[in-house]
Structure formats: C-alpha cells, structure tokens
Amino acid sequence: NDKDAINPADIDEYSKKHYPLCMRNLHETLRANHHLKHYGRLIYGLFLKAIGLKYEQFIEFWRSEFTKTMDTDAFNKNHLYNFNHQFGKVGKRVNYSPYSCMKIIMSNVGAGDAHCCPFRHFDVGRLRAKISECGAPSEGVSEIMQLVNNGHYQIACTKYFQYTHPQPSSNTINHPNQYFEESMNLVKD
C-alpha cells in the first residue's frame, strides 16, 4: 500500500467510491455543516490519518472546512490543539488507533451526532434510502435490510461492499480502514 498516494483533493471522490457508510456519513455531514461534534471529529480524524493523510494535509483539511463558519483565530484557539493531539503531536503524543466497527457500533450516539454505524444507528427508512442512493441495487437493498433487521450489522456492511464493488470483500468487514483499503485495492488491480 502506497500511503503517500492520498491526495486531499480526491477525498470527496474517495468518500463516494471507497468509504464505508460510517465515514461517508461523517464526511458528508462535515461538508454540509462545516463542523462535527467531538466524537465525529475524533473518529473521522483517526480514519483520515490511517488512510495516509499527512499531518499538514490533515490540519489543512479541518481548517479549511471549519473556517467556513469561524475565523482562523477561533479555529486555532478552539480546535487546533485537539487536532494536533489526535495526530499525536502534543500531549502524551500517543499514536491513537482508528476506531473499529465494534467500537463504533457500541458508541453512544445522541441527537446531532454524525458518528455512528449507519447499519446500526440509522432508522430503517433512512438507511434504506441511503444505501439505495449509494448504488445498491434493489435486491441488494432487501438483502441488506434483512441482515440489519436480524442485528447483523457488519455482515450487512460486507454485503453493501459486495453490491457496490465489482468483487466482494475477501473478509467480513470489521474495520472502516479495512473497508477502505480493500476498496482501493480493487481499483489498483
């Protein structure tokens, strides 16, 4: 995997073609609101770092979006430290791991939170509309909704991958970054 190959200008396209629904939802919410709440910033930020965004690109990515609704001083004062911390640049300088599916599925998701596993946390109508909008064919939508109905969220995500890619995922999806890497690898092959 060439981790240097991530171009920030391609993130919108990646989000449509290669992101799992959880990260696509965070990305689209960020683009729409120019803001994410704490856990949204953390979970999406760690995902972005793990897909290979460099530190400067990472800060610029957040700054350019957040400063659509606040000035640069406010961003620097209120948010820069946390993004630096997330990247392991300040504080304990921890190299934090990106969240796994299980951690996201078990998260507390409150009103206004964009961090979630859509298969677990979206209501049925919203999930059905979203997976259909994202390109799952109607027989796929029914199959996925049946799995969700039985509480098999990660298998539903794996099926969603299968219906939106030329080849199925080789394993059950258990990590958003696994989903991304498998999806990117299919393009490279």
> Residue ranges for the binding site for [4Fe-4S] cluster?
22, 101, 117, 157
Specify the stretch interacting with ligand SF4 by CB under 6 A; choose among 14-22, 42-50, 54-62, 122-130.
Answer: 14-22
Burial of 115 (0-12, 13-18, 19+ CB in 10 A): buried
CB 69 within 8 A of CB 34: yes
Q: How far is the CB of 63 from ligand SF4 (least distance, A)?
A: 26
Which of 56/125 has CB closer to ligand SF4?
125
Regarding 29 and contact with ligand SF4 (CB under 6 A), the answer is no
Q: Compute φ and ψ for 26, nearest 5 degrees.
A: -65, -45
Q: Enter the tokens of residue 179.
A: 């989903």
Of residues 112-141, those binding ligand SF4 (CB under 6 A): 117-119
Closer to ligand SF4 at the Cβ: 53 or 147?
147
Q: Which of residues 142-171 bind ligand SF4 (CB under 6 A)?
A: 153-154, 157
Contact residue for ligand SF4 among 11, 21, 48, 136 (CB under 6 A): 21
DSSP alpha helix (H) spans, the chain: 11-17, 21-33, 38-51, 55-66, 72-78, 80-86, 101-105, 118-121, 124-133, 138-149, 153-164, 176-188
Site for ligand SF4 in 85-104 (CB under 6 A): 101, 104
- What is the C-alpha end-to-end distance of the chain, expressed in Å? 12
Size, binding site for ligand SF4 by CB under 6 A? 15
Instruction: Single out the residue of 7, 41, 12 nearest to residue 24, CA to CA.
Output: 12
Q: Which is nearer to ligand SF4, 45 or 176 (CB)?
A: 176
- Residues lying near ligand SF4 in the complex (CB under 6 A): 20-22, 101, 104-105, 117-119, 153-154, 157, 173, 176, 179
